[in-house]
Structures are given as C-alpha cells and as structure tokens.
C-alpha cells in the first residue's frame, strides 16, 4: 500500500503543467512531504477509519469494496487543500510565505497591453496588487488539482 499525494495534470497559464509545478513546489518547499510530516496522525486515522468502513460493508453485504481506502483518499484530499489554503507551512519552511504571496503577485486573465499567450489562446499577465495572498495559490489551478490517493 502506498499513499500518493499529487495533482491531476492540468496546463497552467505559464505553460507548465500542474504536475510540473507540484514537482517544483515539492523540491523547493517540501510542500507534499511536509503535509505528511505535519498530518501523520490524521493520515493514520483516516486510513484506519476507511478500512474499518470497508470491513463493515463486507460484513453487511459480503462484498469488499474494490478500493477500501477511497474514503481516506477523499478526506485527505480535502485536508491537503485546506493545508494549502490556510498556509500551514508559513513559518515552518524557509521561504514560506513566498515573496510573490507577500507582494500580492498573481496571474490573471487580461485584455490589456502586452499579455502573454498560452496554449488555447488565453491571455494572461502577472499583476502585482500589493494585497497579500496565500502562498502556492496563484491562478487557482494548482491547488484545485491536488489529490491524495492510496494504491
């Protein structure tokens, strides 16, 4: 059994995929491995509860669910998203909060001058608002594509 943390691969506005961005964030900030370290007890509890639920289903129906850990994966996915949204890494890992978050730099759809083009013809531009935003949340694509599953 392996606990997997990652993303559903989606194209980001800067031309990188959410998978590529996830690799960068893990390498630079230990985003996923820090989640596992911080949430070890929760992960253990969710896996136990999910297996217990699968056993209850088996005892009641005689059928074992195909993946007895699906419920744990769904709950841990929500927990991973919350971990990103609430910036649990802030102050625990060097560089978090990120400078871009502190400066309010975000990638937004623009109709203005000199926009960058990405695949699909959408136009995006980096905008510095000065309004603090959470780290790792720029376009919303990456954190929306995060996922936890068990193999």
Q: With 70 as the cut, is the pLDDT of residue 115 above it?
A: no
Give CA angle at 41 (39, 42), nearest 5°: 65
Alpha-carbon Rg for the chain, nearest whole angstrom, is 19
Helix (H, G, I), strand (E, B) or coil at 127: strand
Residues sharing a CB contact under 8 Å with residue 138, sequence separation 6 or more, in sequence order:
100, 105, 106, 107
pLDDT at 150: 93
Mean pLDDT value across the chain: 88
Q: With 90 as the cut, is the pLDDT of residue 77 above it?
A: yes
pLDDT at 127: 75
Give the mean pLDDT of 70-91: 95
User: DSSP characters for 12-50?
Assistant: -TTS-BHHHHHHHHHHHH-HHHHHHHHTHHHHHHHHHHH
pLDDT at 118: 46
pLDDT class for 39, splitting at 50, 70, 90?
Answer: very high
Give the mean pLDDT of 45-61: 95
Residues sharing a CB contact under 8 Å with residue 42, sequence separation 6 or more, in sequence order:
76, 79
Q: Where are the domains of the chain?
A: 3-96+139-150
Among 12-21, 38-47, 103-112, 116-125, the range with the most confident prediction by mean pLDDT is: 38-47
Q: With 80 as the cut, is the pLDDT of residue 84 above it?
A: yes
Q: With 60 as the cut, is the pLDDT of residue 24 above it?
A: yes
pLDDT class for 108, splitting at 50, 70, 90?
Answer: low
pLDDT at 19: 95
Q: With 90 as the cut, is the pLDDT of residue 106 above it?
A: no
pLDDT at 87: 94
């Amino acid at each position: 059994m392996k606990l997997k943390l990652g993303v559903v691969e989606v194209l980001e506005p800067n031309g990188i995929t959410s998978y590529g961005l996830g690799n960068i964030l893990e390498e630079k900030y230990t985003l996923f491995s820090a989640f596992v370290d911080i949430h070890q007890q929760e992960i253990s509890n969710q896996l136990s509860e999910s297996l217990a639920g699968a056993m209850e289903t088996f005892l009641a129906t005689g059928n074992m669910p195909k993946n007895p850990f699906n419920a744990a994966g769904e709950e841990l996915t929500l927990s991973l998203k919350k971990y990103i949204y609430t910036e649990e890494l802030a102050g625990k890992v060097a560089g978090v909060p990120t400078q871009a978050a502190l400066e309010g730099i975000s990638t937004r759809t623009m109709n203005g001058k000199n926009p960058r083009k990405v695949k699909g013809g959408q136009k995006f531009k980096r905008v510095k608002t000065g309004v603090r935003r959470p780290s790792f949340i720029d376009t919303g694509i990456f954190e929306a594509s995060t996922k936890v599953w068990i193999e």
